[in-house]
Amino acid sequence: MADRYRNQDESSGTESVKVQANGGPVADAAVLSSPGERSVQAKYGKTTHALAFYKHQVIDHLNDTMRAFIGRMEMAFLATAGAGGECHAGFRAGHAGFVKALDAHTLIYPEYRGNGVMSSLGNIFESPHVALMFVDFSGDQIGLHLNGLARILENDELLEFLKQHPAAETIFKDAVLSDIMNSDGGHLERWVMVSVTRAFVHCSKHIPPMARLDHDIEWGAETVHHVHGGDYFGTAQGEKT
C-alpha cells in the first residue's frame, strides 16, 4: 500500500490522503478526487483500491505520452454542467490533432458553427468545470480522461494569448486550422481553453474495436450537399410522442 498521511478536510469533515511514492509526495488524493468519490469509496469499501489508482494512474497534468495521444485524436467527448447542475454531454470532432495540448496544463480546441443552441458553452459560461474523454477505438483501444477549468476565447483573444506562448507554432503550423483561420467565413467561431487539473487512463477492457473509415470532411466549412441529419428523429414534423 502507498505510504500516506491524513489531513482533516475542514470543509467536508472528511480526511484527505496524500499519496507518496519513492519517498516523495506525488499528489493529494483530496485534490485528485472529489468529496463524492471519497464518500462512496468509503461506503463501498473501495478506499484502498482507489488510493492505489490515484498513486499509479492519476496526475494533475498532461505528461508527454498523454500529449502525443491527444495529438492523434480526431474526436473527444465533452461533459459540462451549469450553475444549477443541468448537465450536457457533447461531442467534438476534427482532423487528427484538432485539440491542441499547448503545454502540460493547457489545451485548446476550436468551436465550429453548430445549431446555435450552444449548450456546452452556456454551461461553461456559468461554471468552468469540464470533463473531456478521448478514446482510441481503432488503434490502441485505450482512453484518456481529463478534468479541468474551461474558459471561452474569441479568435482575437486566442491570437493575443498565443503571442506570449512558446507553443503558438503548433496552431499556426497546423495546415487545416491555419487554412480555416485564414480563409474561413465565420465557421470557426471561437475557442475553448482548458486548464487541466486531473488526467487518468480509461482501460481498454470495455472499449469496442472499430475500424476507421477514411472519408473526406471539410472541417469548419458549410457543405451544400452534405446531409447534417436534419429531422432524423421526426420532431420537426410533429412526431414528439
**What are the distances in angstroms from CA 69 to CA 7, 8, 56, 92, 197?**
35, 37, 19, 16, 17
172 and 74 share one domain: yes
Domain contains 237: no
pTM for this structure? 0.83
pLDDT the model gives residue 220:
61
Residues 97 and 146 placed together within one structural domain of the fold: yes
What's the longest Cα–Cα distance across the chain?
65
Q: What angle do CA 78, 173, 219 make, to 5 degrees?
A: 45
Tell me: do 100 and 148 sit in the same domain: yes
- The domain total for the chain is 2
Question: Do residue 82 and residue 41 come from a single domain?
Answer: no
Task: Going from the first residue of the chain to its last (241 residues), give the mean pLDDT of each consecutive group of 10, the final group possibly shorter.
Answer: 35 42 48 89 96 94 97 97 96 95 97 93 98 94 96 95 92 88 78 97 88 75 58 74 60
Q: Is 94 found in the same domain as 34?
A: no
Task: For residues 163 and 186, state if they share a domain.
Answer: yes
Give the residue numbers spanning the domain of 47.
Answer: 3-53
User: Do 49 and 69 fall into the same domain?
Assistant: no
**DSSP symbol at 115:** S
Residue 173: CB atoms within 10 A of its CB come to 9
- For 146-183, how does the pLDDT look when each residue is reduced to its tens digit (9 = 90+)? 999 999 999 999 999 999 999 999 998 999 888 888 87
Question: What's 97's domain CATH number?
Answer: 2.30.110.10
With respect to residue 86, please indicate whether it lies within any of the assigned structural domains. Answer: yes
Q: Tell me the DSSP string of 43-74.
A: HTT-HHHHHHHHHHH-BSS--HHHHHHHTT-S
Q: Quick one: 88 and 113 in the same domain?
A: yes
- Assess whether 27 and 133 both reside in one domain: no
Whole-number pLDDT of residue 210: 87
Q: Which pLDDT does position 6 carry in this prediction?
A: 37
Q: Is residue 68 included in any domain, yes or no?
A: yes
Residue at 135 is within a domain: yes
Residues 22 and 81 placed together within one structural domain of the fold: no
Backbone angles phi, psi at 71, to 5 degrees: -65, -15
Q: Is 115 among the domain residues?
A: yes
What is the pLDDT at residue 9? 40
Q: Do 124 and 16 sit in the same domain of this protein? A: no
81 and 34, same domain (yes or no):
no
Residue 104, in any domain of the structure: yes
Instruction: Examine residue 236 and state whether it is found in any structural domain, yes or no.
Output: no
C-alpha to C-alpha distance for 103 and 93, rounded to whole angstroms: 21
Q: How many CB atoms lie within 10 A of CB 220?
A: 23
